[in-house]
Amino acid sequence: NGGANDTKNLRVKLVLLGDSGVGKSCIVLRFVRGQFDPTSKVTVGASFLCQTIALQDSTTVKFEIWDTAGQERYAALAPLYYRGAAVAVVVYDITSPESFAKAQYWVKELQKHGSPDIVMALVGNKADLHEKREVSVQDGIDYAEKNGMFFIETSAKTADNINQLFEEIAKRLPRPST
C-alpha cells in the first residue's frame, strides 16, 4: 500500500427522498452551486445534478444526484429513482412532525425495496428555524440509530452542515476492493 497512484475515483448514484417542501432541492442547490434561492420552483418528477468531492485520502467521489418530487402523485415513480442507488438521503423538516413521519415511511420503503447494501442518511433540514422546532434532535438520532442510518441536521439556507452531509456519506461508502 502507499504511493501516489492508488487514488480511487468513485461514482455513486444518490437519491433524495422526503415530503414536498422539506428542502430537498435547496439542499442539492446549496451543495452543487453554493446557492440558496428562496423562490426555487417545486420539483416536477425528478431532476438530476452531479457534484464531485475530494476526500482527505485523495479519493474522489462523484455524486449523481436524483432529486425527486415529494408529491403523492409521483410516489409510484420513486422506485425508478431509488433502484440501484448506492445512497439514499431521506429528508424531513425539523418544524414538521408530519414530514418526520413521512421520512419514516421512506426508510421502510427503502428497507423493503432498496438495494441491501444501500447507505442511508436521515437529514433534519431547516435547522435555522430553531424557534419553530417540533422534532427534537434526540428523536432524529434515535430513529436513525435504530435503522442503521447516519443522522445530521442541516440548513440549506445558512449552508450549515451541507458539505458535511455529503462528506460523511462519502466516508461511509463501501470501497471497491483492489
**Nearer to Mg ion by C-beta: 125 or 161?**
125
Q: Are 60 and 10 in contact, with CB atoms under 8 Å apart?
A: yes
Q: Which does 22 bind (CB under 5 to 8 A by kind): ligand GDP, Mg ion, none?
A: ligand GDP
**Hey, which residues between 85 and 144 contact Mg ion (CB under 5 A)?**
none
Instruction: Kindly give the pairing relationship between strand 119-125 and strand 60-68.
Output: unpaired
Which residues have C-beta within 8 Å of that of residue 112, sequence separation ≥ 6? none
**Nearer to Mg ion by C-beta: 65 or 122?**
65
36-59 in b/e burial notation, b at 16+ Cβ within 10 A?
beeeeeebeebbebeeeeeeeeeb
Range in contact with Mg ion (rule: CB under 5 A) among 35-43, 57-65, 128-136, 170-178? 35-43
- Choosing from 13, 43, 61, 166, the residue that interacts with Mg ion (CB under 5 A) is 43
- Residues forming the site for ligand GDP (CB under 6 A): 18, 20-26, 38, 40, 43, 70, 125-126, 128-129, 155-157
